[in-house]
Amino acid sequence: MTKLPKALAARQSALRRTYGITLEQYDQLLKKQDGRCAICQRPRESFNKNLAVEHDHKTLEIRGLCCTFCNRYVIGRHRDPTIFRQAAKYLTGPFTGWFVPVRKRKRKKKKRVNTPRNS
Which CATH number belongs to the domain containing residue 38 in this structure? 3.40.1800.10
Is 35 part of a structural domain of the chain? yes
Instruction: Please count the structural domains in the chain.
Output: 1
pLDDT value at position 1? 55
The model's pLDDT over 91-118, given as tens digits with 9 standing for 90+, comes to: 899 988 888 888 888 887 777 777 776 6
Helices (H) and strands (E) in the chain, counts: 4, 2
Is 113 part of a structural domain of the chain? no
pLDDT value at position 118? 66
* Residues 35/66, Cβ–Cβ less than 8 Å: no
The model's pLDDT over 22-39, given as tens digits with 9 standing for 90+, comes to: 999 999 999 999 999 999
Is 76 part of a structural domain of the chain? yes
Is 45 part of a structural domain of the chain? yes
Range of the domain at 53: 6-81
pTM metric for this prediction: 0.71
pLDDT interval class at 119 (50, 70, 90): low
Is 36 part of a structural domain of the chain? yes
> Would you list the DSSP string of 25-57?
HHHHHHHHTTTB-TTT--BGGGSSSPPEEEE-T
